[in-house]
Structures are given as C-alpha cells and as structure tokens.
C-alpha cells in the first residue's frame, strides 16, 4: 500500500520575508516553522532581530524628522 500521508498545509507567509509581515503574522509563521521542525532558538532570534531593526528604523526616522524641523 502506498503512503498517502497528506503534507502539512503551506501558508504563503512562510515564504515571505519577515519584514513584509506584521508582528502577529511573523509570530504565527515562526510557530508554524517550529512545529514543522525548525530550530526554535533560530526562529526566536530572527523574529526578535527583525522587530528590533524595525523599531530602530522608526526611531531613527522620527529623530531625523525632529531635527529637520528645527
């Protein structure tokens, strides 16, 4: 008898760069990858790194706007 196991559903978010997803979608995608066998430490690191980069970028832009006004 042939193996007829159904593969896990694939979400489009799993292939998107983290920067293109909102925070909730990033977390959901990371959890799906962990459940599929991905390294939890790597997923957490990537998720935190992306969110930190975005925060620094927003802060930098706000400071630049503030100094342009002055």
Residue 39 DSSP SS3: coil
Q: What is the CA radius of gyration of the chain?
A: 18
pLDDT of amino acid 14 = 66
Q: How far apart are alpha carbons 17 and 54 in whole angstroms?
A: 13
pLDDT of amino acid 60 = 92
pLDDT of amino acid 52 = 86
Instruction: Please state the pTM of the whole predicted model.
Output: 0.58
Tell me if 33 sits within 8 A of 43, measured CB to CB: yes
Q: What is the mean pLDDT of each run of 10 residues along the chain (70 residues)?
A: 54 63 82 93 91 87 88
């Amino acid at each position: 008898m042939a193996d007829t196991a159904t593969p896990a559903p694939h979400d489009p978010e799993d292939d998107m760069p983290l920067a293109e997803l909102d925070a909730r979608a990033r977390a959901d995608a990371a959890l799906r990858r962990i459940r599929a066998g991905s390294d939890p430490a790597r997923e957490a690191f990537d998720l935190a790194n992306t969110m930190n980069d975005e925060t620094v970028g927003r802060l930098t832009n706000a400071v630049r706007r503030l100094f342009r006004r002055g």
